[in-house]
Amino acid sequence: MEKREEHPVAMNAFELISMSKGLNLGNLFDEQAFKRETRFTSKCPANEIINKIEEAAKPLGFDVHKKNYKMRLENVKAGRKGNLNVATQVFQVAPSLHMVEVRKAKGDTLEFHKFYKNLSTCLEDVVWKTEEDMQQVK
């Protein structure tokens, strides 16, 4: 049985602010394909989020390493640029709202995109808002 911290790391106001689209100049470069990280929000409890990600990643061929509310997902098979390595972390924005960051740690970015697409299909009932939702122009 793993000992786990009670709560995920509380999100610092500046952490939240730095996610604003207006402060992410990567958008000037246009290419969606280059993005190496993404995030989604969830209203589920942090433990549930971690478990659901693990459940989704394993059948996709990924080894899962967990530590508190951070996870490392490693593709057992090597891809175009080595084994795809994905890091995720759950942050607490408010007691009932969490932000999950999913970031490519190693490997091919396009493979990361494919993996994330598969992962999000499996996580449909966990995800509240995707990054696309979050950046929709009103």
104 Cβ neighbours under 8 A, 6+ residues apart: 36, 37, 84, 85, 86, 87, 112
Among 10, 76, 78, 110, binds other proteins (CB under 8 A): 10
Does 12 interact with other proteins (rule: CB under 8 A)? yes
Q: Which of 58, 61, 66 is nearest to 77 (CA)?
A: 61
Q: Do residues 106 and 84 touch, judged by C-beta distance below 8 A?
A: yes
Q: How far is the CB of 133 from other proteins (least distance, A)?
A: 7
Among 60, 64, 87, 93, binds other proteins (CB under 8 A): 93
Does 29 interact with other proteins (rule: CB under 8 A)? yes
Q: Distance (Å, rounded) from C-alpha 131 to C-alpha 138?
A: 14
Element (H, E) at 134: helix 131-134
Q: Which of 49, 31, 36 is nearest to 113 (CA)?
A: 36
Among 7, 36, 80, 81, binds other proteins (CB under 8 A): 36
Residues 43-72, one symbol each (x = binds other proteins by CB under 8 A, - = not), give ------------------------------
If binding means CB under 8 A, how many residues of this protein chain bind other proteins?
33
**CA dihedral sign of residues 112, 108, 104, 78:** positive
Does 137 interact with other proteins (rule: CB under 8 A)? yes
Does 34 interact with other proteins (rule: CB under 8 A)? yes
* Contact set with other proteins (CB under 8 A): 10-29, 31, 34, 36, 41, 93-94, 97, 129, 133-137
